[in-house]
Structure formats: structure tokens, C-alpha cells
């Protein structure tokens, strides 16, 4: 396991409320609303414009991605990320706090947390409990859009936190990395369909273990304690002293695995960005495992 001083991956609603109250938001502390919802359900930007944490900017994950890729949520380029977050007033000296409005407490925020880290930014945290608990605890909200002064951000890709299709394919033979899939059991097994997916059957990469990301969260929407998280990894026989790749459908809930491991003192979990969405369309059929009728194997 990598031994280093880890930046706090979580901040409390109380801490952020106090930071808002005392006027700490600015170039040194920026807050991002990273909400995203399936088309036809909720409208993230509309909800942001109606109410958000005072001073928060809207981080549009649909804009901050590789729009030329045939896959769903692939990382943008270094320059693309640097330009996007710079326009949100974020420099390399900014502490970034990310939240989303999902009813689970957290859904997309860990993806943005990981995006900052994969582009070399260490001082980034997820709001523990999310906007759900911010509202529940009665903290202030506003409809006033944030207009931060643009800043200069330099992005440097940390390849150790990112895995490609070719690297995961090679890993099937080398078995250097453990592979953990964060989707629900039904989608992992191939017995339930992938939501909102055209031409994408459910199933999983051969050799991957299933750790549904919802198991890392309490019923109230907070991250479980490091002790509870360690027990979850141990129950699945995932060795946190060994290399680990996280995957899911499009590289989003995989970041919950990376966050949970980070909270256990393991900061080096890599995310397979293309995840199942890319794997199903590119990989040899025998590497796709499914119990469903539509499965390739």
C-alpha cells in the first residue's frame, strides 16, 4: 500500500456551512454542483438554478468530457479539463468541494473528485451526505448563479489512476490488478438490463468482482466509516495492499470504489474509464460474462 499523507477526501456539511457563513468561498475554496440525472427524470441544471449551496458553480459533466468519443463519459483532454475548470475560477491552489443532488446522497460527485485527482489536483473533497443532507439539516441555499473570476489551471494527467481498454485486456492474462465492478448485482450478472442503453447488454468483464457502490453509503446518504468500508473489501476478498482497477458502466460509479479505498488509506485505485460500455463493444465475446439471454457469453 502507498504510504503518504492523504488529503481529506470528505468534508462535512457543518464544515462547509461554516465556510459559507464566514465568507471563506473564493479563489482558495470553490464549491461545485456536479449533479447529473438520466434523461427524462430530473433536470440537473434547472435544479441548480432553482437552489444550490451559496457560491457553488454548476459542473456540467456533459460538457467536461471527450465529446468525440463513441463512449459515454470519457475524460476530456488535459487542455480541455484545464480550460473548463479554469472558467469556474479554479486554480492549482484551490480547495475544491464537490457535491450532487442525488437522493442516494452521492452519485456523480466522486467521479468529479476522481477527475481532479487524475489531472493532478490533490486538494479536492466530496461533501459527505451531499445536497440531500445539506437541505435536511437546514443549511442555506440560493438561486443566485455563481460568477467566479476565471483562473489558470494546469492539468497534468496521472496515468497511474487511469486504465485503458488495452491495459484491462492485458490484465486478463497478467492478473496484475484486481478488478472490481461497482454496478448492481443484476446488471453485473446480466439478469437485469442496462438502463437507458441502446445496443448494450448487461454482464461483466471476466474475472471481475462485484461491489455495488450503494453498499459504501449509509441509508442516510453518508459515506460509511473506514472500518465498515474495510470490512466490505475483506468480505469480497479484495486485498487493499495490492493493485486495484475499478469499473462500472461508464466510469462513474467506479469512482465510488476509488473513494472508498482512499478512505481506507489506499489512494492508488485506477478507474477503467471506458468500463463496460466500451468493453462490451470492443472485447472478445469470451471475455464478456452474462447469465442473461442477451449476453455475449
* CA 70 – CA 176 distance, rounded (Å): 28
CB 297 within 8 A of CB 203: yes
Residues 6+ apart with CB under 8 A from 182: 211, 212, 213, 246, 247, 248, 253, 254, 256, 257
Same domain, residue pair 91 and 191: no
Interstrand relation of 29-33 and 57-58 (parallel, antiparallel or unpaired): parallel
| Residue 248 designated active-site | yes
Comparing CA positions, the residue from 60, 85, 251 lying closest to residue 162 is 251
Q: Is residue 51 part of a domain?
A: yes
- Active-site position among 64, 248, 255, 264: 248
For 157-168, write each residue's pLDDT tens digit: 999 999 999 999
For 107, the domain range is 10-137
User: Edge to edge, what strands does the sheet with 124-127 contain?
Assistant: 10-11, 124-127, 95-99, 29-33, 57-58
The grid cell for 147 is 460568477
Co-location of 133 and 166 in the same domain: no
Instruction: Please determine, for residue 4, whether its predicted confidence score (pLDDT) is greater than 80.
Output: no
Based on the fold, state whether residues 176 and 122 are members of the same structural domain: no
CATH number for 107: 3.40.250.10
What is the tens place of the pLDDT at every residue in 88-107?
A: 999 999 999 999 999 999 99
Res. 260: pLDDT tops 80: yes
**What does the alpha-carbon distance between residue 17 and residue 138 come to, in Å, rounded to a whole number?**
10
Kindly report, residue by residue over 45-86, the tens digit of the pLDDT.
999 999 999 999 999 999 999 899 998 889 999 999 999 999
Distance in angstroms (rounded) separating the CA atoms of residues 146 and 29: 13
Residue whose cell numbers read 468493453: 279
pLDDT of residue 6: 81
Say yes or no to pLDDT of 1 above 90. no
Amino acid at each position: 500500500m502507498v504510504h503518504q499523507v492523504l488529503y481529506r477526501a470528505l468534508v462535512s456539511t457543518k464544515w462547509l456551512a461554516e465556510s459559507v457563513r464566514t465568507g471563506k468561498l473564493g479563489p482558495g475554496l470553490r464549491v461545485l454542483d456536479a449533479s447529473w440525472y438520466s434523461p427524462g427524470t430530473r433536470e440537473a441544471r434547472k435544479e441548480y438554478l432553482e437552489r444550490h449551496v451559496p457560491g457553488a458553480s454548476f459542473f456540467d459533466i456533459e460538457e467536461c468530457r471527450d465529446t468525440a468519443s463513441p463512449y459515454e463519459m470519457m475524460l476530456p483532454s488535459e487542455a480541455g479539463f484545464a480550460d473548463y475548470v479554469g472558467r469556474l475560477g479554479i486554480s492549482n491552489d484551490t480547495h475544491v468541494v464537490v457535491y450532487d443532488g442525488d437522493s442516494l446522497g452521492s452519485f456523480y460527485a466522486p467521479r468529479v473528485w476522481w477527475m481532479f485527482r487524475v489531472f493532478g489536483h490533490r486538494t479536492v473533497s466530496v461533501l459527505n451526505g451531499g445536497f440531500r443532507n445539506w437541505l435536511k439539516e437546514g443549511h442555506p441555499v440560493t438561486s443566485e448563479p455563481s460568477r467566479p473570476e476565471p483562473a489558470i489551471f494546469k492539468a497534468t494527467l496521472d496515468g497511474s489512476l487511469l486504465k485503458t481498454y488495452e491495459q484491462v485486456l492485458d490484465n486478463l492474462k497478467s492478473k496484475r490488478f484486481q478488478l472490481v465492478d461497482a454496478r448492481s448485482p443484476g446488471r453485473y450478472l446480466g439478469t437485469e438490463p442496462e438502463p437507458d442503453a441502446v445496443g448494450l447488454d448487461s454482464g461483466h468483464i471476466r474475472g471481475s468482482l462485484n461491489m455495488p457502490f450503494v453498499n459504501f453509503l449509509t441509508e442516510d446518504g453518508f459515506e460509511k466509516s473506514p472500518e465498515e468500508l474495510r470490512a466490505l473489501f475483506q468480505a469480497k476478498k479484495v486485498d487493499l495492499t495490492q493493485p486495484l482497477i475499478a469499473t462500472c458502466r461508464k466510469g462513474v460509479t467506479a469512482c465510488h470504489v476509488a473513494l472508498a479505498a482512499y478512505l481506507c488509506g489506499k489512494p492508488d485505485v485506477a478507474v477503467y474509464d471506458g468500463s463496460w460500455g466500451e468493453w462490451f463493444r470492443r472485447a472478445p465475446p469470451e471475455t464478456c460474462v452474462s447469465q442473461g439471454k442477451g449476453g455475449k457469453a
